[in-house]
């Protein structure tokens, strides 16, 4: 369906067969006499856990402005209507950009999502042969496209505009995400955040392989390794396992800076306030370059954007009163930042997101750096040009492939070296070592992001 009346066009046939059986789809012929852009249904398989789909990327060779169509679903009085809209995106220089970011969702079981995308049809005759399909499962989604036979019919200039001037492609992705990389040599303006060339920070959790808390000696040994690898900073997600005390002491002894966190979980903001009290009591703010309030808390449904923004302000007041003078932020996937930019961006001192290129099935290890740089530029753009940081970024050394995103030790090395080269001075690499205590998750990769040996 489209928001405007159009001549018939050969949108691909997408239907759900509710029960096992034999289905017959009749032959159809459609003649298109003018170039037409409409909404079309497409499908994407979803696996249990986090998934990304949709999104449009474009590559330009010079600075330009791209007009990109997109399909959206609007609801009025309980009735959903698919409408065709467009966005104007400014590409400041040559590079790869994402004018339409991908969507991230989470599902408990495998399913197939059907959603709208824009499709442009040029003049021609389009045919679809009669097809008989035997279905052996319930709710099977069947997609049947047309075959085109182009005819020489000129397109009137008064019809719906042709596709964007720059070449675009439909890509599922996280986010999904990629403009030209920002310069890694430009120093940030907030809070004295510093890197060692293309190495800034790495995530650290004080857990052993079975999920138990590490001892202070074990933590000190780990932080010593991190310092020896050339990192200047570690990111600590929360205050559990005596993290502030043990990691703080180890960082002080090894000349390492800290990014500390107030973690929001299913207990919500009221529970997270306990960590604010712990941080104020700890008080070693001379070690801290950045405070992160929440880690994908909106994405996980633990709080609303308004609640998080208010809590960030509450944390800033508490930490400032206790002697902290550095920046405070939060971090979410890119699409959440973009969706709630008007609420979140005024509350933070620097913009931040978790950018995990592996979960974009169109991103190979060789393109990870380009992808992340593009995503990071979009994070900054969403917040009006504020300094932007990538607070969680890695590549798995084992697991199953996600499209062209392939895990493996060699793939991990290639991906992380590319990310370091592109935006290492603004990226927190994930993670210090493998997290055997985690659930394997989608593609069986969640335990295999340990990467300190790459550096």
Pair 274, 337 in one domain: yes
Q: Which of 170, 185, 214 is the last residue in one of the domains?
A: 170
Comparing 55-69, 248-262, 313-327, which segment has the lowest mean pLDDT? 55-69
Comparing 6-15, 200-209, 323-332, 371-380, which segment has the lowest mean pLDDT? 6-15
Is 296 labeled as catalytic in the residue annotation?
Answer: yes
Domain membership of residue 402 (yes or no) is: yes
The pTM of the whole model exceeds 0.95: no
Q: Mean per-residue pLDDT for 358-362? A: 93
What confidence score (pLDDT) does residue 157 get?
33
Domain that holds residue 254: 201-454
3-state per-residue secondary structure call for the chain: CCCCCCCCCCCCEEEEECCCEEEEECCEEEEECCCEEEEEEEEEEECCEEEEECCEEEEECCCEEEEEEEEEEEEECCEEEEEEEEEEEEECCCEEEEEECCEEEEECCCEEEEEEEEEEECCEEEEECCEEEEECCCCEEEEECCEEECCCCCCCCCCCCCCCCCCEEECCCCCCCCCCCCCCCCCCCCCCCCCECCECEEECCCECCCCCECCHHHHHHHHHHHHHCCCCEEECCCCCCCHHHHHHHHHHHHCCEEEEEECCCCCHHHHHHHHHHHHHHHCCHHHEEEEEEEECCCCCCCCCHHHHHHHHHHHHHHHHHCCCCCCEEEEECHHHHHHCHHHHHHHCCCEEEECCHHHCCCCCHHHHHHHHHHHHHHHHHHCCCCCEEEEEECCCCCCCCECCECCCHHHHHHHHHHHHHHHHHHEEECCCCCCCCCCCCHHHCCCCCCCHHHC
Is 392 labeled as catalytic in the residue annotation?
Answer: yes
Pair 114, 28 in one domain: yes
Pair 261, 302 in one domain: yes
What confidence score (pLDDT) does residue 171 get?
34
| Residue 403 belongs to domain with CATH number | 3.20.20.80
Q: Mean per-residue pLDDT for 237-254? A: 97
What confidence score (pLDDT) does residue 271 get?
96
pLDDT tens digit sequence for 111-162: 877 778 877 767 777 777 787 878 777 777 666 555 554 444 333 333 333 3
What confidence score (pLDDT) does residue 350 get?
96
Catalytic residue among 40, 177, 296, 362, which?
Answer: 296
Q: Which of 170, 189, 219 is the last residue in one of the domains?
A: 170
pLDDT tens digit sequence for 181-222: 333 333 333 446 777 789 999 999 999 988 899 999 999 999
Res. 8: pLDDT tops 80: no
The count of structural domains within the chain is 2
Domain membership of residue 182 (yes or no) is: no
pLDDT tens digit sequence for 83-95: 777 777 777 777 7
% of the chain beyond a pLDDT of 90: 55
């Amino acid at each position: 369906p489209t928001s405007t009346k159009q001549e018939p066009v050969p949108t691909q046939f997408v239907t759900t067969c509710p029960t096992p059986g034999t289905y017959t789809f009749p032959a159809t012929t459609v003649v298109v006499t003018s170039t037409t852009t409409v909404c079309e249904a497409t499908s994407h398989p979803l696996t249990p856990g986090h998934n990304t789909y949709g999104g449009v990327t474009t590559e330009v060779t010079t600075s330009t402005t791209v007009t990109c169509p997109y399909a959206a679903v609007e609801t009025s009085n309980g009735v959903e209507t698919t409408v065709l809209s467009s966005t104007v995106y400014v590409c400041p220089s040559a590079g790869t950009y994402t004018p339409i970011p991908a969507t991230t969702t989470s599902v408990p079981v495998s399913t197939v999502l059907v959603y709208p995308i824009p499709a442009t049809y040029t003049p021609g005759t389009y045919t679809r042969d009669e097809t008989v399909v035997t279905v052996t499962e319930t709710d099977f989604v069947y997609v049947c496209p047309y075959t085109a036979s182009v005819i020489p019919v000129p397109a009137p200039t008064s019809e719906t505009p042709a596709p964007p001037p720059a070449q675009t492609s439909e890509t599922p992705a996280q986010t999904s995400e990629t403009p030209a990389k920002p310069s890694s040599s430009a120093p940030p303006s907030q809070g004295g955040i510093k890197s060692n060339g293309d190495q800034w920070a790495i995530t650290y959790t004080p857990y052993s392989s079975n999920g138990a808390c590490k001892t202070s000696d074990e933590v000190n040994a780990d932080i010593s390794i991190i310092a020896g690898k050339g990192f200047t900073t570690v990111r600590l997600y929360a205050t559990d396992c005596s993290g502030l005390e043990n990691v703080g002491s180890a960082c002080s002894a090894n000349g390492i800076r800290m990014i500390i966190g107030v973690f929001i979980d299913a207990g919500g903001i009221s529970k997270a306030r306990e960590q604010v009290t712990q941080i104020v009591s700890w008080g070693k703010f001379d070690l801290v370059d950045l405070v992160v309030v929440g880690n994908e808390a909106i994405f996980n449904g633990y709080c609303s954007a308004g609640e998080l923004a208010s809590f960030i302000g509450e944390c800033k007041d508490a930490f400032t009163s206790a002697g902290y003078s550095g920046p405070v932020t939060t971090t979410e996937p890119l699409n959440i930042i973009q969706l709630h930019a008007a609420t979140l961006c005024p509350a933070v001192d620097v913009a931040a997101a978790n950018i995990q290129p592996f979960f974009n099935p169109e991103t190979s290890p060789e393109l990870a750096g380009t992808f992340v740089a593009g995503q990071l530029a979009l994070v900054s753009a969403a917040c009006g040009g504020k300094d932007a940081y990538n607070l969680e970024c890695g590549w798995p050394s084992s697991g199953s492939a996600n499209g062209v995103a392939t895990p493996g030790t060699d793939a991990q090395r290639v991906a992380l070296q590319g990310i370091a080269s592109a935006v290492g001075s603004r990226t927190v690499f994930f993670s210090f070592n493998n997290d055997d205590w985690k659930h394997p998750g989608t593609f069986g990769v969640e335990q295999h992001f340990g990467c300190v040996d790459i550096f």
